[in-house]
């Protein structure tokens, strides 16, 4: 496919707000794409070059892109800056400048993708200047409409307003049109095991989805717990259950591959967070010898990394644990806060896919494979049908400084996402007993400049929302309950993600429009006294007396609380 044709589809998508219409346009695009280019079409339509866990990004800031445009179109940087300030968008600026030069229309989607990927992978001395030069050369050879979209990719602002969820639905329609009849559930299940939407699209195109299985080095979408605070209700919905402690740590997936000594290669350890970002294993030096505690050649373990206070023989809080993710002062931080990895599930063993096995079968495999003790500690597990046992264990773990219990259906498979009543959590958050049953993870959508004392902070209050399908809907404004330090930190975080226009996926009442919009990237954990019905907030519900608990750097925006979960919390509150 010529890139100019692809750009025409992107133009249609940018001008379309209806979710159904966007889905139809994408399905037509995917149907038109052949099996060798559909992965590239999908990556570029999302403004990326690879799944996030591969870490392949162009990483050219707006200032660098202004230099790119200056070089590409032989214009002084100050002139380019004036045009950019006038329209506020790097893509529109590039399109305007491209009108005045002769360009080629022969570039295919594959050509552009290959060049952008090569530019992104150029590292080392002088790489920044080479990236500017190569990106300028690419833009110079593209038509104005193509330039508009390609110029936005390096700064991460393609602004088309859809995500993998819409793409999955569009792939279903495209497959149906080609006679495959692949269901959305089948595509979602495959994506949860191999969260590379380009790879999945190729399999859909070739009708090979059934070949998907876990792979070392590729993250798996995590299974999440729903909320219930009544042990009797848990037994009613789930039957016989396993009760495990809930730790307030950092969700870590450990991918281990043991190489034979004769190969001359050292064992491989890869680690991923709950939002499927890859972390450098050297950040956690404890894991470099994890093979001592594993009786298999290849495993994927689901764990919770918890910091230890060895002097007081207790676990540290989440904020101290998450500091271990820092790339600097690793030796000092690991000595100060050593980690213990609480292992609670196993997803792959020596090529054998465990995801479809029951909880009990996975637990038996886990106990065979992991040597319990040292840096790996298998979670306690109690099988019961008695609600009183759940209550007793919940209180026991709370007294130990943990977050209560996670209750798991013993015959359930590992189901990615928060699906059904397979896992439920029962926890109480410090300082919120007698209030809302659980905290809520919200996306910061925008903020208002401070007044009085808060002028110095840069933030007076922020607008927060939850996920509803592909969109974000507001549930609260937060302006109290933050320390001075939290206000300053929030300002530092938000000023980096300011966007001139309201993101396409935001639904906000006109009375709640903030001074500054921000991209959906910052997730915060909020506590509140209660949830109330609200005609003002677009979620239809609002938080009463919200307060910031912590920043959730371990979560992406699409992992925040969704509308269904908020409704469940509202019902729980009424039944307390």
Residue 537: name the closest of 464, 447, 444, 449 by CA.
464
Helical spans, DSSP H, in 352-510: 359-369, 387-399, 484-494
All residues at 6 or more sequence positions from 17 whose CB lies less than 8 Å from its CB, including other chains: 161, 504
The single residue of 246, 409, 467, 555 carrying the catalytic annotation is 246
Buried b vs exposed e over 35-63: b needs ≥16 C-beta within 10 Å?
eebbbbbbbbbbbbbbbbbeebebebeee
527 token code pair:
């506590």
340 token code pair:
């213990």
Q: Which residue has the tokens 């608990």?
A: 549
205 token code pair:
């195109």
Q: For residues 431 and 317, what is the distance between their CA atoms, to the nearest angstrom?
A: 14
550: β partners = 525
The whole-angstrom distance between residue 33's C-alpha and the CA centroid of its chain comes to 27
Number of C-beta neighbours around residue 283 at 10 A = 17
CA end-to-end distance (rounded Å), the chain: 58
For residue 397, which phi and psi values (nearest 5 degrees)?
-70, -35
Are the CB atoms for 337 and 307 separated by under 8 Å? Answer: yes
Question: Hey, what long-range contacts does 73-81 have (CB within 8 A, 24 or more apart)?
Answer: 73/97, 73/98, 73/100, 73/101, 73/140
Q: For residues 240 and 407, what is the distance between their CA atoms, to the nearest angstrom?
A: 10
Q: For residues 354 and 361, what is the distance between their CA atoms, to the nearest angstrom?
A: 8
The whole-angstrom distance between residue 466's C-alpha and the CA centroid of its chain comes to 14
Map residue 514 onto helix, strand or coil: coil
Number of C-beta neighbours around residue 532 at 10 A = 13
15 among known catalytic residues = no
DSSP per-residue string spanning 55-115: -------HHHHHHHHHHHHT--HHHHHHHHHHH--HHHHHHHHHTTS------BHHHHHHH
Helical packing angle, 3-14 and 19-32, nearest 10°: 170
All residues at 6 or more sequence positions from 2 whose CB lies less than 8 Å from its CB, including other chains: 105, 106, 107, 108, 109
Among left, alpha and beta (phi > 0; psi -120 to 50; other), residue 103 is beta
DSSP per-residue string spanning 214-280: --TTS--PPB--EE---HHHHHHHHSSEEEEE---SEEEEEEEEPPPGGGTPPPEEEEEETT--EE-
Active site residues: 246
């Amino acid at each position: 496919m010529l890139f100019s044709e692809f750009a025409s589809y992107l133009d249609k998508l940018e001008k379309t707000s209806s979710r159904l219409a966007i889905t139809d346009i994408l399905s037509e695009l995917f149907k038109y794409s052949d099996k060798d280019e559909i992965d590239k079409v999908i990556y570029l339509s999302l403004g990326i070059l690879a799944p996030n866990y591969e870490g392949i990004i162009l990483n050219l800031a707006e200032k660098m892109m202004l230099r790119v445009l200056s070089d590409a179109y032989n214009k002084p940087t100050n002139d380019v800056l004036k045009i950019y300030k006038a329209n506020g968008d790097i893509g529109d600026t590039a399109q305007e400048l491209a009108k005045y030069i002769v360009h080629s229309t022969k570039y295919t989607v594959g050509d552009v993708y290959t060049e952008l990927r090569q530019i992104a992978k150029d590292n080392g001395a002088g790489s920044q200047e080479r990236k500017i030069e190569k990106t300028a050369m690419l833009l110079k050879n593209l038509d104005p409409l193509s330039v508009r979209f390609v110029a936005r990719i390096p700064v991460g602002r393609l602004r088309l307003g859809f995500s993998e969820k819409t793409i999955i639905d569009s792939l279903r329609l495209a497959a149906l049109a080609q006679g495959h009849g692949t269901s959305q559930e089948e595509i979602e299940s495959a994506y949860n095991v191999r969260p590379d939407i380009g790879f999945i699209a190729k399999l859909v195109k070739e009708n090979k989805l059934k070949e998907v299985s876990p792979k070392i080095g590729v993250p798996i979408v995590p299974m999440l717990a729903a909320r219930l605070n009544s042990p009797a209700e848990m037994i009613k919905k789930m039957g016989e259950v396993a009760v495990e402690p809930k730790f307030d740590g950092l969700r870590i997936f450990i991918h281990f591959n043991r190489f034979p000594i004769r190969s001359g290669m050292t064992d491989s350890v890869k680690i991923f967070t709950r939002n499927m970002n890859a972390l450098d294993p050297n950040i956690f030096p404890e894991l470099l010898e994890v093979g001592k505690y594993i009786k298999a050649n290849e495993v994927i373990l689901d764990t919770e990394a918890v910091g230890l206070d060895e002097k007081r023989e207790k676990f540290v809080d989440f904020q101290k644990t998450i500091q271990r993710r820092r790339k600097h002062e690793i030796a000092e931080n690991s000595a100060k806060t050593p980690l213990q990895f609480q292992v609670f599930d196993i997803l792959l063993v020596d090529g054998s896919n465990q995801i479809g096995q029951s909880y009990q079968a996975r637990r038996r495999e886990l106990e065979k494979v992991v040597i319990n003790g040292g840096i790996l500690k298998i979670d306690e597990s109690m099988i019961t049908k008695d609600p009183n046992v759940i209550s007793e264990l919940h209180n026991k773990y709370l007294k130990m400084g943990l977050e209560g219990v996670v209750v798991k259906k013993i015959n359930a498979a590992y189901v990615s996402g928060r699906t059904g009543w397979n896992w439920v959590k029962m926890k109480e958050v410090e300082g919120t007993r007698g209030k809302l049953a659980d905290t809520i993870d919200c996306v910061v959508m925008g903020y208002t400049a401070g007044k009085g004392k808060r002028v110095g902070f840069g933030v007076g209050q922020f607008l927060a929302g939850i996920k509803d399908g592909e969109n974000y809907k507001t549930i609260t404004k937060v302006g109290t309950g933050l320390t001075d330090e939290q206000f300053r930190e929030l300002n530092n975080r938000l000023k980096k993600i300011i966007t001139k226009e309201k993101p396409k996926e935001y639904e906000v009442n006109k009375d709640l429009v903030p001074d500054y919009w921000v991209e959906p990237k910052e997730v915060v954990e909020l506590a509140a006294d209660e949830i109330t019905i609200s005609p003002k907030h677009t979620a239809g519900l609002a938080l009463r007396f919200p307060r910031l608990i912590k920043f959730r750097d371990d979560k992406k925006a699409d992992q925040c609380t969704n509308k269904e979960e908020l409704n469940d919390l509202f019902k729980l509150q009424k039944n307390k």
